[in-house]
Amino acid sequence: MQKKQNVESIAIVGISVRTSNKNGEASVDLGVLWERFYLENVHAQIPNIISGDIYCVYTDYESDYTGEYTAIIGYKVPFLGFIPEGLTGCLIEEGEYLKYTIRGEISSIADVWAEIWANDSVLNRKYGTDFDVYKEKSQDIEHAEMEVYIGVR
């Protein structure tokens, strides 16, 4: 299920990786990034976290979903004034987004992304910032509540 929604800019601080969807690179790189996120207890390194929702932001696109991009896993903060050493900050762009809401197994988010890529030519994507939100109240891998936001023109 998708709907168009206006999103105000959101400051995120977390850890990042530069990756690509070619040859399954993103699956490996993002898997390693998620592992680091939990092993390094990133939550404890970020001051002034606004909520326990986890954000995965996709930004700095080289071109479209077939090119390189930066992925950042982190938390919403009030502003980007202080970014601890070793962490990355980014600003989710204000604007129109297509919002997909997913409930169920956490792996089902991959199906939504496959659908997005398959329909890329008709979605009129901006390739500025896109992001996933993993809701704090349901971060159980079998009963997750997630949202995917795709920036559109």
Q: What is the DSSP track for the chain?
A: -EEEEEE--EEEEEEEEEEESGGGHHHHHHHHHHHHHHHTTHHHH-TT---S-EEEEEE--SSSTTSEEEEEEEEEES-SS---TT-EEEEEPPEEEEEEEEEE-GGGHHHHHHHHHHTHHHHTB--SEEEEEE-GGG--TTSEEEEEEEEB-
What pLDDT score does 111 carry?
87
pLDDT tens digits, the chain, 153 residues: what are they? 678 999 999 999 999 999 999 998 999 999 999 999 999 999 999 999 999 999 999 999 999 999 999 999 999 999 998 899 999 999 999 999 999 998 877 777 888 998 999 898 889 999 999 999 998 766 666 777 899 999 999
pLDDT score at 103: 84
What does the pLDDT read at residue 102? 87
Predicted pLDDT of residue 139: 63
- CATH architecture type of domain 2-151: Alpha-Beta Barrel (3.20)
pLDDT in the model for residue 121: 85
* CB distance 99 to 89 below 8 Å: no
State pTM to two decimals: 0.93
